[in-house]
Structure 1
Amino acid sequence: MESSEEAELCFPQLFNTSCKKRMRPHSESMLLYILLSFISFFTVVLNLLVIISISHFRQLHTPTNLLLLSLAVSDFLVGLFVMPFQILLTEPCWFLGDLVCVLYYFLPFVIVPASVVNMVLISVDRYVAICDPLHYSTRVTQRRVQICVLLCWIYSIFYSFLFLYDNLKQPGRYNSCYGECVINVTVSADLVLCFIIPISAIVILYVRVFVVAVSQARAMRSHITAVKLQRSVTVTVKKSELKAARTLGVVVAVFLMCYCPYYCVSLSGSDLMVNSSTNAFMSFLVYFNSCLNPVIYAFFYRWFRKSVKLIVTLDILQPNSCEVNML
């Protein structure tokens, strides 16, 4: 009969080198699994609806929606691959080996930066649309957006190799015992590349958008000598611009709420255990942003609600359904 000490080891046969299990109450574990699975499921479903909508309906094939599509793909992958593996990390021990541990981290280091960079690109798109509307159609073309999306994913792959190359050379070199899944990452570089630079760009662009939108709205109200028809058209344009500004403001606020706790802990120098409940909560808060993105970007738009109705009722399977007027 094995001793109580052996029963607490991840690998009892490796008595001297095995990690000890860090057990948590059963009720806490069940609550954690249910919550994380729920978030993962809805992240996949919501972003899949965005992907189907923009891909299927031809009228939605615009440069802005192409950026939304790229964002939805990255967020969809977060829900499909990253979140389920994060659930495994909440277990007391890691049993999938050192190589799988590093490969697991490879996924979020590609997907999460891609999601963040896509948000920056969407902010740039809204900046040009609101601050320089006369040249928007010539500056923001389908071809240029496709190139930007491609560069976004290339950057994300380069980003992951930059941080994980040392870990890939010798998987498990930073584990203190068998049953751990630990990698070495330069926190300061991750903080700058994945948080400070993107959020600074988004905030600067949003402030500029807000200032321009407000100044144009004031100019519009003071321009009482304009022809009534012209003024009514102008009002419609300005309302849509202000709505875009408000939407971008929500994005900035949600992004900060989801990312700040994780990076504040990193800045404080606290060393969280990789399978601790606190670390799981911090990581899933970052990933939860991927669940909220389709709500922020898509549910604010009428065309998305209409496309969801067509998808749920299976009208999308009808001939020529891709030609339906969505606007």
Structure 2
Amino acid sequence: MEIQMHLETELCFPELPNSSCRKPTLHWSKTVLLNVGLSSISVITAALNLLIIISVSHFRQLHTPSNILLLSLAVSDFFVGFLLMPVEIFRNTACWVFGDLMCSLYIYLSGILMNASLEIIVLISVDRYVAICDPLHYPTRITVTRVKLSVCLCWFYAIFYMSLYTKDVLIKPVIIIIVLYTRVFVVAVSQARAMRSHVTAVTLERSLNQSNKSELKAARNLGVLVIVFLASICPFYFYSLVEGNVVNASSATFLIIVYFNSCLNPLIYTLFYPWIRNAVKLSITLQILKHNSSEANIL
């Protein structure tokens, strides 16, 4: 009897069946600290990604295939910070009072954004694969129009497959990303060795070498983005495979790590891309409100 009463005091709604959610057990001081910390990350995530979205969308010079992919990823990350993080904070620090419908909507939206992010990372890997492994055909194969179409298809694909939710669908993009980027880095290393072993004075060849170096640098920078993304998301999927659909403190922790990746992505952009820093600076100082500011030279 005592055990039963103890269990009932831990439930948010003891009068309901045993499926009723449990009350958070953290001390109020820890709860406040957790709320403040995670809420700050949520605000920073939404703000940083909104700056990336505004900057890349506004300046015409940034309307390149690679940057459009980064823009799409920033859109997904913005909604993670603006919608998913606040809900996850509430779920872990208070009793859920919004009913099954809102809970299902949260899970559905979370799945769409995570699927879309995975698929955009696949497209980024494909973009770098073609740029490094087939650079002569890159301008004709990877165009702005094709990238925009691919991004739209990714979002439709994420929405459709979330309706048929299965972990196998999510694991396959991760495998594709790893295979493509392994190939990219193998080719990149071989090209770097070839460039070091052949020195030429021909102007055209110098130009080609400079182009190759630029593509290698771009592959390295986006490679950091991919590695950080996989490092954030893989623990959650491994845990999900082992534990199934069990929802507990551990699963919530892994999910928050996945969401935290959305805060790291814009920091990676600004760290490795000077033109992104310039664009963000102009956005923060409201220079984008000036006439013809979209045509500014920021590269």
Give the superposed CA RMSD.
Answer: 2.2
Verify the 8 A CA contact 1:23 1:92 in the aligned structure 2: no
**Aligned residue in 1 for 2:184:** 209
Q: Deviations over 1:70-119 (max 9, x none)?
A: 11111111111111111121035211111111111111111111011101
Corresponding residue to 1:44 among 7, 31, 46: 46
Verify the 8 A CA contact 1:109 1:159 in the aligned structure 2: no
Q: CA deviation at 1:9?
A: 4.2
Verify the 8 A CA contact 2:133 2:187 in the aligned structure 1: yes
Corresponding residue to 2:169 among 193, 205, 221: 193
TM-score, normalised on structure 2? 0.90
Within 2, Cα distance between the matches of 1:228 and 1:131? 23
Q: Deviations over 1:31-80 (max 9, x none)?
A: 32122112211111111111001110111111221111111111111111
Quickly say closer, same or farther: Cα 1:11–1:219, change in 2 above 3 A. Answer: closer
**Aligned residue in 2 for 1:68:** 70
Q: How many residues align?
A: 294
Quickly say closer, same or farther: Cα 1:29–1:218, change in 2 above 3 A. Answer: same
Quickly say closer, same or farther: Cα 1:256–1:66, change in 2 above 3 A. Answer: closer
Within 1, Cα distance between the matches of 2:185 and 2:7? 62
Quickly say closer, same or farther: Cα 1:252–1:19, change in 2 above 3 A. Answer: closer
Within 2, Cα distance between the matches of 1:52 and 1:15? 47
Within 1, Cα distance between the matches of 2:121 and 2:279? 22
Q: Which amino acid aligns with 2:191?
A: Q
Q: Does 1:223 align with 2:192?
A: no
Q: Does 1:259 align with 2:233?
A: yes
Q: CA deviation at 1:239?
A: 2.1
**Aligned residue in 1 for 2:257:** 285
Quickly say closer, same or farther: Cα 1:100–1:236, change in 2 above 3 A. Answer: same
Q: Which amino acid aligns with 1:317?
A: L
Quickly say closer, same or farther: Cα 1:63–1:106, change in 2 above 3 A. Answer: same
**Aligned residue in 1 for 2:131:** 129
Which runs of structure 1 show a deviation greater than 4 angstroms over 4 or more consecutive aligned residues?
3-9, 15-20
**Aligned residue in 2 for 1:173:** none
**Aligned residue in 1 for 2:273:** 301
TM-score, normalised on structure 1? 0.83
Within 2, Cα distance between the matches of 1:143 and 1:241? 21
Within 2, Cα distance between the matches of 1:266 and 1:315? 46
Q: CA deviation at 1:262?
A: 1.3
**Aligned residue in 1 for 2:113:** 111
Q: Which range is displaced more, 314-323 or 87-96?
A: 87-96
Verify the 8 A CA contact 1:57 1:323 in the aligned structure 2: yes
3-state SS of the aligned residue for 1:77? helix
Q: Which has the higher helix share?
A: 2
Q: Which amino acid aligns with 2:219?
A: A
**Aligned residue in 1 for 2:210:** 236
- Segments of structure 2 that go 5 or more residues without pairing to the other structure are none
